[in-house]
Structure 1
Amino acid sequence: MVSNGCDRPVVGISTYVEQASWGVWNREAALLPYVYVSGVHRAGGMPVMLPVLPDSADTAVSTVDAVVIAGGADVDPARYGRSAHPALGPVQPHRDVWEEELIRCALRRGTPVLGVCRGAQVLNVALGGTLHQHLPDSVRHRRHQPAPAEFGTSEVRVRPRTRLAAVLGERVGVPCYHHQAIDEIGRGLEVVARAEDGTVEAVELPGHRFAIGVQWHPEQDAVDNRLFAALVAAAKEVRGEHRA
Protein backbone atom coordinates (compact mmCIF):
# COMPACT_ATOMS: atom_id res chain seq x y z
CA MET A 1 0.00 0.00 0.00
CA VAL A 2 1.37 3.38 -1.02
CA SER A 3 1.25 5.95 1.78
CA ASN A 4 -0.56 9.21 1.01
CA GLY A 5 1.20 11.00 3.86
CA CYS A 6 -1.92 11.19 6.02
CA ASP A 7 -4.43 8.99 7.79
CA ARG A 8 -6.99 9.14 5.00
CA PRO A 9 -7.62 5.74 3.38
CA VAL A 10 -7.26 5.72 -0.40
CA VAL A 11 -10.55 5.18 -2.26
CA GLY A 12 -10.29 4.36 -5.96
CA ILE A 13 -13.25 5.47 -8.11
CA SER A 14 -13.81 4.03 -11.58
CA THR A 15 -14.16 6.63 -14.33
CA TYR A 16 -16.34 7.28 -17.33
CA VAL A 17 -14.75 7.02 -20.80
CA GLU A 18 -16.21 9.80 -22.93
CA GLN A 19 -15.46 12.20 -25.76
CA ALA A 20 -15.17 15.52 -23.95
CA SER A 21 -14.43 19.18 -24.65
CA TRP A 22 -12.34 21.55 -22.54
CA GLY A 23 -10.50 24.67 -23.57
CA VAL A 24 -9.48 24.21 -27.21
CA TRP A 25 -9.57 20.40 -26.98
CA ASN A 26 -12.10 17.75 -27.90
CA ARG A 27 -10.70 14.35 -27.04
CA GLU A 28 -11.49 11.01 -25.44
CA ALA A 29 -11.15 11.46 -21.70
CA ALA A 30 -11.39 9.65 -18.38
CA LEU A 31 -14.14 11.60 -16.62
CA LEU A 32 -15.71 11.57 -13.18
CA PRO A 33 -18.45 13.85 -11.84
CA TYR A 34 -16.84 15.83 -9.05
CA VAL A 35 -19.60 14.93 -6.60
CA TYR A 36 -18.00 11.47 -6.24
CA VAL A 37 -14.68 13.08 -5.34
CA SER A 38 -16.21 15.49 -2.83
CA GLY A 39 -18.41 12.80 -1.30
CA VAL A 40 -15.44 10.51 -0.60
CA HIS A 41 -13.30 13.39 0.64
CA ARG A 42 -16.02 14.72 2.97
CA ALA A 43 -16.26 11.22 4.42
CA GLY A 44 -12.55 11.24 5.27
CA GLY A 45 -11.15 9.34 2.29
CA MET A 46 -8.48 10.25 -0.25
CA PRO A 47 -10.21 9.86 -3.65
CA VAL A 48 -8.21 8.72 -6.67
CA MET A 49 -9.48 8.05 -10.19
CA LEU A 50 -9.19 4.58 -11.73
CA PRO A 51 -9.26 4.93 -15.55
CA VAL A 52 -9.84 1.91 -17.77
CA LEU A 53 -6.52 0.04 -17.89
CA PRO A 54 -6.83 -3.40 -19.49
CA ASP A 55 -5.10 -6.23 -17.62
CA SER A 56 -4.29 -3.98 -14.64
CA ALA A 57 -7.25 -4.49 -12.31
CA ASP A 58 -5.34 -6.42 -9.65
CA THR A 59 -2.55 -3.83 -9.62
CA ALA A 60 -5.10 -1.02 -9.35
CA VAL A 61 -6.93 -2.66 -6.45
CA SER A 62 -3.65 -3.36 -4.65
CA THR A 63 -2.96 0.39 -4.47
CA VAL A 64 -6.23 1.39 -2.77
CA ASP A 65 -8.11 0.66 0.45
CA ALA A 66 -11.59 0.66 -1.11
CA VAL A 67 -13.23 0.83 -4.53
CA VAL A 68 -16.25 2.77 -5.81
CA ILE A 69 -17.76 1.62 -9.10
CA ALA A 70 -19.35 4.79 -10.44
CA GLY A 71 -22.46 5.34 -12.55
CA GLY A 72 -22.52 5.80 -16.30
CA ALA A 73 -23.56 4.05 -19.50
CA ASP A 74 -25.87 1.05 -19.82
CA VAL A 75 -24.23 -2.32 -19.25
CA ASP A 76 -23.80 -4.31 -22.48
CA PRO A 77 -26.43 -7.11 -22.34
CA ALA A 78 -23.91 -9.43 -24.00
CA ARG A 79 -22.20 -9.51 -20.60
CA TYR A 80 -25.16 -11.50 -19.24
CA GLY A 81 -26.20 -13.38 -22.36
CA ARG A 82 -29.08 -11.24 -23.60
CA SER A 83 -29.79 -9.47 -26.86
CA ALA A 84 -30.18 -5.70 -26.90
CA HIS A 85 -33.51 -4.06 -26.03
CA PRO A 86 -34.62 -1.28 -28.44
CA ALA A 87 -34.34 1.27 -25.59
CA LEU A 88 -30.76 0.28 -24.73
CA GLY A 89 -28.47 3.30 -24.62
CA PRO A 90 -24.83 3.48 -25.78
CA VAL A 91 -22.68 0.80 -24.15
CA GLN A 92 -18.98 0.66 -23.31
CA PRO A 93 -17.92 -3.01 -23.32
CA HIS A 94 -14.30 -2.13 -22.45
CA ARG A 95 -15.49 -0.38 -19.30
CA ASP A 96 -17.81 -3.28 -18.44
CA VAL A 97 -14.92 -5.75 -18.57
CA TRP A 98 -12.61 -3.46 -16.59
CA GLU A 99 -15.09 -2.82 -13.79
CA GLU A 100 -16.09 -6.46 -13.50
CA GLU A 101 -12.40 -7.29 -13.02
CA LEU A 102 -12.02 -4.50 -10.45
CA ILE A 103 -14.92 -6.02 -8.52
CA ARG A 104 -13.60 -9.59 -8.69
CA CYS A 105 -10.14 -8.50 -7.59
CA ALA A 106 -11.58 -6.43 -4.73
CA LEU A 107 -13.72 -9.33 -3.53
CA ARG A 108 -10.75 -11.73 -3.66
CA ARG A 109 -8.63 -9.31 -1.64
CA GLY A 110 -11.34 -8.40 0.88
CA THR A 111 -11.26 -4.78 -0.30
CA PRO A 112 -14.44 -2.79 0.44
CA VAL A 113 -16.61 -2.14 -2.64
CA LEU A 114 -19.47 0.29 -3.21
CA GLY A 115 -21.35 0.12 -6.51
CA VAL A 116 -23.37 3.21 -7.45
CA CYS A 117 -26.29 2.88 -9.91
CA ARG A 118 -24.55 1.30 -12.91
CA GLY A 119 -21.96 0.10 -10.37
CA ALA A 120 -24.61 -1.95 -8.56
CA GLN A 121 -25.63 -3.46 -11.89
CA VAL A 122 -22.02 -4.31 -12.79
CA LEU A 123 -21.58 -5.93 -9.35
CA ASN A 124 -24.62 -8.10 -10.03
CA VAL A 125 -23.49 -9.04 -13.55
CA ALA A 126 -19.94 -9.77 -12.36
CA LEU A 127 -21.46 -12.40 -10.05
CA GLY A 128 -23.61 -13.98 -12.75
CA GLY A 129 -26.80 -11.93 -12.45
CA THR A 130 -28.91 -10.22 -15.12
CA LEU A 131 -30.58 -6.85 -15.63
CA HIS A 132 -33.92 -5.39 -16.65
CA GLN A 133 -32.79 -3.47 -19.73
CA HIS A 134 -35.70 -1.00 -19.68
CA LEU A 135 -37.42 -0.70 -16.33
CA PRO A 136 -40.54 1.16 -17.56
CA ASP A 137 -41.54 -2.05 -19.35
CA SER A 138 -42.10 -3.74 -15.99
CA VAL A 139 -43.01 -0.93 -13.56
CA ARG A 140 -45.10 1.06 -16.08
CA HIS A 141 -43.79 4.47 -15.06
CA ARG A 142 -40.68 6.62 -15.53
CA ARG A 143 -40.22 8.01 -12.03
CA HIS A 144 -36.78 6.40 -11.70
CA GLN A 145 -35.58 8.56 -14.61
CA PRO A 146 -38.15 11.27 -15.26
CA ALA A 147 -36.34 13.05 -18.11
CA PRO A 148 -32.84 13.52 -19.51
CA ALA A 149 -30.56 14.97 -16.81
CA GLU A 150 -33.46 15.07 -14.31
CA PHE A 151 -33.13 12.99 -11.14
CA GLY A 152 -36.14 11.28 -9.66
CA THR A 153 -36.76 10.42 -6.00
CA SER A 154 -37.45 6.95 -4.67
CA GLU A 155 -38.70 5.95 -1.26
CA VAL A 156 -36.59 2.91 -0.38
CA ARG A 157 -37.34 0.27 2.23
CA VAL A 158 -34.22 -1.39 3.62
CA ARG A 159 -34.33 -4.90 5.05
CA PRO A 160 -33.77 -4.94 8.82
CA ARG A 161 -30.57 -6.38 10.32
CA THR A 162 -28.51 -5.82 7.18
CA ARG A 163 -25.27 -3.89 6.74
CA LEU A 164 -27.17 -1.23 4.78
CA ALA A 165 -29.86 -0.88 7.46
CA ALA A 166 -27.14 -0.34 10.06
CA VAL A 167 -25.91 2.60 7.96
CA LEU A 168 -29.15 4.18 6.71
CA GLY A 169 -32.00 2.79 8.78
CA GLU A 170 -34.99 0.97 7.33
CA ARG A 171 -36.56 3.72 5.22
CA VAL A 172 -34.85 6.44 3.21
CA GLY A 173 -35.64 8.82 0.35
CA VAL A 174 -32.95 8.74 -2.34
CA PRO A 175 -32.09 10.49 -5.64
CA CYS A 176 -32.25 8.15 -8.62
CA TYR A 177 -31.54 8.24 -12.34
CA HIS A 178 -31.77 4.90 -14.12
CA HIS A 179 -33.85 3.05 -16.70
CA GLN A 180 -32.18 -0.30 -15.99
CA ALA A 181 -32.21 -2.33 -12.78
CA ILE A 182 -31.17 -5.65 -11.30
CA ASP A 183 -33.26 -8.65 -12.40
CA GLU A 184 -31.88 -12.13 -11.56
CA ILE A 185 -29.60 -11.85 -8.53
CA GLY A 186 -25.90 -12.70 -8.82
CA ARG A 187 -24.22 -15.50 -6.85
CA GLY A 188 -24.06 -14.84 -3.13
CA LEU A 189 -25.75 -11.44 -3.30
CA GLU A 190 -28.81 -10.65 -1.24
CA VAL A 191 -31.46 -8.05 -1.99
CA VAL A 192 -31.49 -5.65 0.95
CA ALA A 193 -33.64 -2.77 -0.32
CA ARG A 194 -36.51 -2.20 -2.72
CA ALA A 195 -38.46 0.78 -4.01
CA GLU A 196 -42.19 0.94 -3.44
CA ASP A 197 -42.78 -0.48 -6.94
CA GLY A 198 -40.65 -3.53 -6.12
CA THR A 199 -37.52 -2.45 -8.00
CA VAL A 200 -34.33 -3.80 -6.43
CA GLU A 201 -32.60 -0.76 -4.93
CA ALA A 202 -29.69 -2.37 -3.10
CA VAL A 203 -27.78 -5.63 -2.80
CA GLU A 204 -24.99 -6.71 -0.51
CA LEU A 205 -22.65 -9.67 -0.20
CA PRO A 206 -22.89 -11.28 3.25
CA GLY A 207 -19.61 -12.38 4.74
CA HIS A 208 -17.58 -9.73 2.93
CA ARG A 209 -16.17 -6.79 4.88
CA PHE A 210 -18.13 -4.27 2.79
CA ALA A 211 -19.67 -5.11 -0.59
CA ILE A 212 -22.80 -3.08 -1.31
CA GLY A 213 -24.46 -1.96 -4.52
CA VAL A 214 -27.12 0.77 -4.49
CA GLN A 215 -29.27 1.64 -7.48
CA TRP A 216 -29.54 5.27 -6.43
CA HIS A 217 -26.97 8.11 -6.45
CA PRO A 218 -25.69 8.82 -2.92
CA GLU A 219 -23.07 11.21 -4.35
CA GLN A 220 -25.88 13.60 -5.32
CA ASP A 221 -26.92 14.15 -1.69
CA ALA A 222 -24.69 16.88 -0.24
CA VAL A 223 -26.25 16.44 3.22
CA ASP A 224 -26.52 12.67 3.75
CA ASN A 225 -23.01 11.26 3.37
CA ARG A 226 -23.54 8.17 5.53
CA LEU A 227 -22.92 5.59 2.81
CA PHE A 228 -19.57 7.06 1.80
CA ALA A 229 -18.69 7.44 5.50
CA ALA A 230 -19.40 3.73 6.05
CA LEU A 231 -17.23 2.81 3.06
CA VAL A 232 -14.37 4.98 4.34
CA ALA A 233 -14.70 3.44 7.82
CA ALA A 234 -14.29 -0.02 6.27
CA ALA A 235 -11.34 1.27 4.23
CA LYS A 236 -9.69 2.52 7.42
CA GLU A 237 -9.88 -1.01 8.82
CA VAL A 238 -8.11 -2.30 5.71
CA ARG A 239 -5.47 0.41 5.94
CA GLY A 240 -4.85 -0.42 9.61
CA GLU A 241 -4.41 -4.10 8.80
CA HIS A 242 -1.93 -3.32 6.04
CA ARG A 243 0.12 -1.19 8.42
CA ALA A 244 0.08 -3.79 11.22
Structure 2
Amino acid sequence: MTGRPLIGVSTYLEARTRWGRWELDAALLPAGYPLLVQRAGGLAAMLPPDDPAHAAATVARLDGVVIAGGPDVDPSRYGAERSPRTGSPAPERDAWELALIEAALAAGTPLLGICRGMQLLNVLLGGTLVQHIDGHDAAEVGVFGQHTVKPVPGTRYAEVAPEPVSVPTYHHQAVDRLGAGLLASAHAEDGTVEAVERPGGHWVLGVQWHPEMGEDVRVMKALVRAASAS
Protein backbone atom coordinates (compact mmCIF):
# COMPACT_ATOMS: atom_id res chain seq x y z
CA MET A 1 0.00 0.00 0.00
CA THR A 2 1.00 3.66 -0.31
CA GLY A 3 0.55 6.32 2.35
CA ARG A 4 -0.01 5.88 6.06
CA PRO A 5 -1.99 2.76 7.01
CA LEU A 6 -5.40 3.17 8.64
CA ILE A 7 -5.43 1.62 12.13
CA GLY A 8 -8.77 1.14 13.87
CA VAL A 9 -8.80 1.35 17.68
CA SER A 10 -11.74 0.05 19.73
CA THR A 11 -13.29 2.44 22.27
CA TYR A 12 -15.13 2.61 25.54
CA LEU A 13 -18.90 3.22 25.62
CA GLU A 14 -19.71 5.18 28.77
CA ALA A 15 -23.01 6.47 30.14
CA ARG A 16 -23.42 10.07 31.32
CA THR A 17 -19.90 11.30 30.68
CA ARG A 18 -19.20 14.94 31.56
CA TRP A 19 -17.06 17.47 29.70
CA GLY A 20 -17.53 21.23 29.72
CA ARG A 21 -21.26 21.89 30.10
CA TRP A 22 -22.22 18.54 28.63
CA GLU A 23 -23.28 15.33 30.30
CA LEU A 24 -24.04 12.71 27.66
CA ASP A 25 -23.43 9.09 26.78
CA ALA A 26 -20.08 8.94 24.99
CA ALA A 27 -17.84 6.69 22.96
CA LEU A 28 -14.39 7.64 24.18
CA LEU A 29 -10.75 6.64 24.11
CA PRO A 30 -7.76 7.87 26.12
CA ALA A 31 -5.74 10.12 23.83
CA GLY A 32 -2.61 8.01 24.30
CA TYR A 33 -3.95 5.38 21.88
CA PRO A 34 -4.43 7.53 18.76
CA LEU A 35 -1.28 9.49 19.62
CA LEU A 36 0.73 6.26 19.74
CA VAL A 37 -0.68 5.19 16.36
CA GLN A 38 0.24 8.57 14.91
CA ARG A 39 3.74 8.53 16.42
CA ALA A 40 4.25 5.10 14.89
CA GLY A 41 3.33 6.37 11.41
CA GLY A 42 -0.31 5.33 11.15
CA LEU A 43 -3.68 7.04 10.82
CA ALA A 44 -5.97 6.38 13.79
CA ALA A 45 -9.71 5.67 13.53
CA MET A 46 -11.98 5.09 16.52
CA LEU A 47 -14.19 1.99 16.48
CA PRO A 48 -17.03 2.44 18.99
CA PRO A 49 -19.15 -0.61 19.86
CA ASP A 50 -21.48 -1.62 17.03
CA ASP A 51 -23.52 -4.62 15.97
CA PRO A 52 -21.06 -7.56 15.86
CA ALA A 53 -22.54 -8.47 12.48
CA HIS A 54 -20.75 -5.40 11.07
CA ALA A 55 -17.30 -6.36 12.33
CA ALA A 56 -16.08 -8.08 9.16
CA ALA A 57 -17.14 -5.14 6.97
CA THR A 58 -15.42 -2.75 9.37
CA VAL A 59 -12.16 -4.70 9.41
CA ALA A 60 -12.24 -4.93 5.60
CA ARG A 61 -11.80 -1.14 5.43
CA LEU A 62 -8.82 -1.11 7.81
CA ASP A 63 -5.13 -1.91 7.44
CA GLY A 64 -4.69 -2.84 11.10
CA VAL A 65 -6.74 -3.28 14.29
CA VAL A 66 -5.98 -2.37 17.91
CA ILE A 67 -8.19 -3.68 20.71
CA ALA A 68 -7.76 -1.22 23.57
CA GLY A 69 -7.66 -1.72 27.31
CA GLY A 70 -10.69 -1.35 29.52
CA PRO A 71 -13.01 -3.23 31.88
CA ASP A 72 -12.73 -6.87 32.90
CA VAL A 73 -13.88 -9.49 30.42
CA ASP A 74 -17.13 -11.16 31.50
CA PRO A 75 -16.07 -14.50 33.07
CA SER A 76 -19.01 -16.24 31.39
CA ARG A 77 -17.11 -15.76 28.14
CA TYR A 78 -14.55 -18.31 29.36
CA GLY A 79 -16.86 -20.52 31.38
CA ALA A 80 -16.02 -19.22 34.86
CA GLU A 81 -18.02 -17.99 37.82
CA ARG A 82 -17.65 -14.30 38.56
CA SER A 83 -15.18 -13.53 41.36
CA PRO A 84 -16.19 -10.84 43.88
CA ARG A 85 -13.12 -8.89 42.74
CA THR A 86 -14.08 -8.91 39.04
CA GLY A 87 -15.45 -5.63 37.74
CA SER A 88 -18.85 -4.95 36.22
CA PRO A 89 -19.41 -6.49 32.76
CA ALA A 90 -19.30 -4.50 29.53
CA PRO A 91 -21.42 -6.72 27.26
CA GLU A 92 -21.48 -4.34 24.27
CA ARG A 93 -17.69 -4.09 24.25
CA ASP A 94 -17.19 -7.82 24.80
CA ALA A 95 -19.43 -8.74 21.88
CA TRP A 96 -18.08 -6.07 19.49
CA GLU A 97 -14.40 -6.54 20.26
CA LEU A 98 -14.56 -10.33 20.12
CA ALA A 99 -16.19 -9.96 16.70
CA LEU A 100 -13.46 -7.52 15.59
CA ILE A 101 -10.76 -9.96 16.70
CA GLU A 102 -12.44 -12.87 14.94
CA ALA A 103 -12.80 -10.82 11.75
CA ALA A 104 -9.17 -9.66 11.85
CA LEU A 105 -7.94 -13.23 12.33
CA ALA A 106 -10.12 -14.48 9.48
CA ALA A 107 -8.97 -11.72 7.12
CA GLY A 108 -5.30 -11.82 8.09
CA THR A 109 -5.46 -8.16 9.15
CA PRO A 110 -2.61 -7.22 11.53
CA LEU A 111 -3.93 -7.20 15.09
CA LEU A 112 -2.63 -5.79 18.37
CA GLY A 113 -4.42 -6.43 21.67
CA ILE A 114 -3.55 -4.14 24.58
CA CYS A 115 -4.29 -5.31 28.15
CA ARG A 116 -8.00 -6.22 27.94
CA GLY A 117 -7.46 -6.67 24.19
CA MET A 118 -4.84 -9.36 24.82
CA GLN A 119 -7.17 -11.08 27.28
CA LEU A 120 -10.04 -11.05 24.76
CA LEU A 121 -7.77 -12.58 22.11
CA ASN A 122 -6.91 -15.36 24.53
CA VAL A 123 -10.56 -15.93 25.47
CA LEU A 124 -11.74 -15.99 21.85
CA LEU A 125 -9.28 -18.80 21.15
CA GLY A 126 -10.51 -20.86 24.10
CA GLY A 127 -8.18 -19.63 26.82
CA THR A 128 -9.03 -18.59 30.37
CA LEU A 129 -8.11 -15.77 32.73
CA VAL A 130 -6.97 -15.41 36.33
CA GLN A 131 -9.58 -13.06 37.79
CA HIS A 132 -7.26 -11.33 40.27
CA ILE A 133 -3.53 -10.93 40.77
CA ASP A 134 -1.64 -8.45 42.91
CA GLY A 135 1.35 -6.28 42.09
CA HIS A 136 0.63 -5.32 38.48
CA ASP A 137 -0.63 -1.81 39.11
CA ALA A 138 0.27 1.00 41.45
CA ALA A 139 -1.35 0.95 44.88
CA GLU A 140 -3.42 4.02 43.95
CA VAL A 141 -6.52 3.68 41.76
CA GLY A 142 -6.00 5.19 38.31
CA VAL A 143 -2.21 5.35 38.60
CA PHE A 144 -0.06 3.24 36.30
CA GLY A 145 2.71 1.16 37.78
CA GLN A 146 5.96 -0.05 36.21
CA HIS A 147 7.53 -3.47 36.04
CA THR A 148 9.93 -5.35 33.80
CA VAL A 149 8.91 -7.79 31.09
CA LYS A 150 11.31 -10.29 29.57
CA PRO A 151 10.87 -11.51 25.98
CA VAL A 152 10.92 -15.17 25.01
CA PRO A 153 13.79 -15.64 22.51
CA GLY A 154 12.78 -16.51 18.98
CA THR A 155 9.32 -14.94 19.18
CA ARG A 156 7.83 -12.11 17.15
CA TYR A 157 7.82 -9.93 20.25
CA ALA A 158 11.51 -10.65 20.87
CA GLU A 159 12.23 -9.40 17.34
CA VAL A 160 10.52 -6.13 18.26
CA ALA A 161 12.07 -5.76 21.73
CA PRO A 162 14.92 -8.23 22.28
CA GLU A 163 15.89 -6.98 25.75
CA PRO A 164 13.99 -6.84 29.07
CA VAL A 165 12.11 -3.54 29.34
CA SER A 166 10.23 -1.66 32.03
CA VAL A 167 6.63 -1.09 30.94
CA PRO A 168 3.60 0.93 32.13
CA THR A 169 1.13 -1.47 33.69
CA TYR A 170 -2.36 -1.37 35.17
CA HIS A 171 -4.23 -4.66 35.41
CA HIS A 172 -5.48 -7.09 38.02
CA GLN A 173 -6.34 -9.98 35.71
CA ALA A 174 -4.05 -12.09 33.54
CA VAL A 175 -3.88 -15.01 31.14
CA ASP A 176 -4.29 -18.40 32.78
CA ARG A 177 -4.68 -21.17 30.18
CA LEU A 178 -3.45 -20.10 26.75
CA GLY A 179 -5.91 -20.12 23.87
CA ALA A 180 -5.46 -22.52 20.97
CA GLY A 181 -2.53 -21.61 18.74
CA LEU A 182 -1.22 -18.87 21.02
CA LEU A 183 2.36 -18.69 22.26
CA ALA A 184 3.51 -16.79 25.35
CA SER A 185 6.20 -14.38 24.12
CA ALA A 186 7.01 -12.34 27.25
CA HIS A 187 6.73 -12.76 31.01
CA ALA A 188 6.91 -10.58 34.09
CA GLU A 189 9.42 -11.40 36.80
CA ASP A 190 6.70 -13.25 38.74
CA GLY A 191 5.96 -15.46 35.72
CA THR A 192 2.78 -13.70 34.59
CA VAL A 193 2.24 -13.94 30.83
CA GLU A 194 2.84 -10.43 29.50
CA ALA A 195 2.64 -11.00 25.75
CA VAL A 196 1.05 -13.58 23.47
CA GLU A 197 1.26 -14.10 19.75
CA ARG A 198 -0.04 -16.36 17.04
CA PRO A 199 2.88 -17.89 15.15
CA GLY A 200 2.57 -17.97 11.39
CA GLY A 201 2.25 -15.59 8.50
CA HIS A 202 -0.28 -13.12 9.90
CA TRP A 203 0.84 -10.48 12.42
CA VAL A 204 -1.02 -11.07 15.70
CA LEU A 205 0.30 -9.86 19.06
CA GLY A 206 -1.17 -9.11 22.47
CA VAL A 207 0.59 -7.23 25.26
CA GLN A 208 -0.63 -7.04 28.84
CA TRP A 209 0.87 -3.61 29.49
CA HIS A 210 -0.06 -0.16 28.15
CA PRO A 211 2.40 1.08 25.50
CA GLU A 212 0.21 4.15 24.94
CA MET A 213 1.28 5.35 28.40
CA GLY A 214 5.02 5.18 27.70
CA GLU A 215 7.67 6.37 25.27
CA ASP A 216 8.50 3.04 23.60
CA VAL A 217 6.73 2.95 20.22
CA ARG A 218 8.30 -0.27 18.94
CA VAL A 219 5.26 -2.51 19.37
CA MET A 220 2.96 -0.07 17.57
CA LYS A 221 5.57 0.57 14.87
CA ALA A 222 5.70 -3.18 14.26
CA LEU A 223 1.91 -3.24 13.80
CA VAL A 224 2.06 -0.25 11.45
CA ARG A 225 4.81 -1.91 9.38
CA ALA A 226 2.75 -5.08 9.12
CA ALA A 227 -0.32 -3.03 8.16
CA SER A 228 1.68 -1.21 5.48
CA ALA A 229 2.77 -4.52 4.00
CA SER A 230 -0.67 -6.13 4.00
TM > 0.5: yes
Q: Which residue of 1 aligns with 2:153?
A: 160
Give the TM-score normalised by the residue count of structure 1.
0.91
Given residue 9 of structure 1, which amino acid in structure 2 is its aligned partner? P
Where does 1:116-155 land on structure 2 (aligned, <5 Å)? 116-136=114-134, 142-155=135-148
Q: Which residue of 2 aligns with 1:50?
A: 47
Q: Which residue of 2 aligns with 1:28?
A: 25
Given residue 7 of structure 1, which amino acid in structure 2 is its aligned partner? G
Please state if 1:226 is matched with 2:218. yes
Work out which of the residue numbers 1, 4, 10 in structure 1 matches 2:6: 10
CA shift, 1:187, in A, is 0.7
Partner deviation per Cα, 1:159-203 (whole Å, 9 max, x = no partner)? 011110110113111110000001110010001111000111000
Instruction: Give structure 2 stretches of 5+ with no counterpart.
Output: none
Determine the C-alpha separation between the residues in 2 that align with 1:58 and 1:197: 38
Determine the C-alpha separation between the residues in 2 that align with 1:143 and 1:126: 23
Where does 1:197-208 land on structure 2 (aligned, <5 Å)? 197-208=190-201
CA shift, 1:208, in A, is 3.9
Determine the C-alpha separation between the residues in 1 that align with 2:173 and 2:7: 26
Determine the C-alpha separation between the residues in 2 that align with 1:179 and 1:99: 20
Q: Which residue of 2 aligns with 1:104?
A: 102
Partner deviation per Cα, 1:116-149 (whole Å, 9 max, x = no partner)? 001100110011111011113xxxxx34343201
Give the TM-score normalised by the residue count of structure 2.
0.96
Partner deviation per Cα, 1:50-107 (whole Å, 9 max, x = no partner)? 1111121011101100000000001000100111101111220121111111001001
Where does 1:51-70 land on structure 2 (aligned, <5 Å)? 51-54=48-51, 55-70=53-68
CA-atom RMSD in angstroms = 1.3
Determine the C-alpha separation between the residues in 2 that align with 1:64 and 1:45: 11
CA shift, 1:24, in A, is 2.3
CA shift, 1:25, in A, is 2.0
Instruction: Provide the secondary structure at the position in 2 that maps to 1:56.
Output: helix
Q: Which residue of 1 aligns with 2:229?
A: 237
Count of residues paired in the alignment: 228
Q: Percent identity?
A: 52
Determine the C-alpha separation between the residues in 2 that align with 1:210 and 1:177: 25
Determine the C-alpha separation between the residues in 1 that align with 2:4 and 2:72: 32
Determine the C-alpha separation between the residues in 2 that align with 1:21 and 1:84: 30
Determine the C-alpha separation between the residues in 1 that align with 2:81 and 2:14: 24
Work out which of the residue numbers 204, 207, 214 in structure 2 matches 1:214: 207
Determine the C-alpha separation between the residues in 2 that align with 1:145 and 1:214: 18
Determine the C-alpha separation between the residues in 2 that align with 1:116 and 1:42: 17
Change (3 A) 1:226 1:60: same
Instruction: Give structure 1 stretches of 5+ with no counterpart.
Output: 137-141, 239-244
Work out which of the residue numbers 166, 174, 196 in structure 2 matches 1:181: 174
Change (3 A) 1:114 1:68: same
CA shift, 1:26, in A, is 1.4
